Amino acid sequence: MNTDPTKSNPDIYKVIFENERVRVLEYKDKPGQKTTPHNHPDSVMYTLSEFDRKLILEDKEITVHKTAGEVSWLDAQKHIGENIGSTDTHVVFVELKEPSPKTP
């Protein structure tokens, strides 16, 4: 299964910019929507809406509440995301294409 989110969930993950160093994704969903398992490289996330979300990672499950205008860092990871609130999720991801310098 392809776990690039633009391939696994192309209805909600769109590439809005790409060059040799970064890829920028826009993510939009509705309450109740749930992704399939997908991978993110090291990424910056910037929120454009307020939302509630469950993230099912390989070893744990977490819930997050975000408001618009928040910046978060995602270490490279595989997860399933689910909109568990009553508002749309709208987020931009800046994915770093180069491997982390701390990766052996």
Binding site for a copy of itself (CB under 8 A): 16-17, 19-22, 24, 42, 44, 46, 71-73, 92, 94, 96, 98, 100-102
Least Å distance between CB 73 and a copy of itself? Answer: 6
The distance from CA 27 to its chain's CA centroid, rounded to whole angstroms, is 7
Q: Residue 9 has which token pair?
A: 């969930």
* Residue closer to a copy of itself, measured from CB, 55 or 96: 96
- Please identify which residue in the block is written with the tokens 């109740």: 32
Query: Shortest Cβ distance from residue 11 to a copy of itself (Å)?
Result: 19
Smaller CB separation from a copy of itself, 19 or 86: 19
CA pair distance 36, 79, nearest whole angstrom: 8
Closest distance between a copy of itself and the C-beta of residue 76, in Å? Answer: 11
Number of residues in the chain: 104
Residues with Cβ within 8 Å of 5's Cβ and at least 6 positions away in sequence, in order, are 13, 25, 27, 35, 38, 39, 40
Nearer to a copy of itself, 55 or 92 (CB): 92
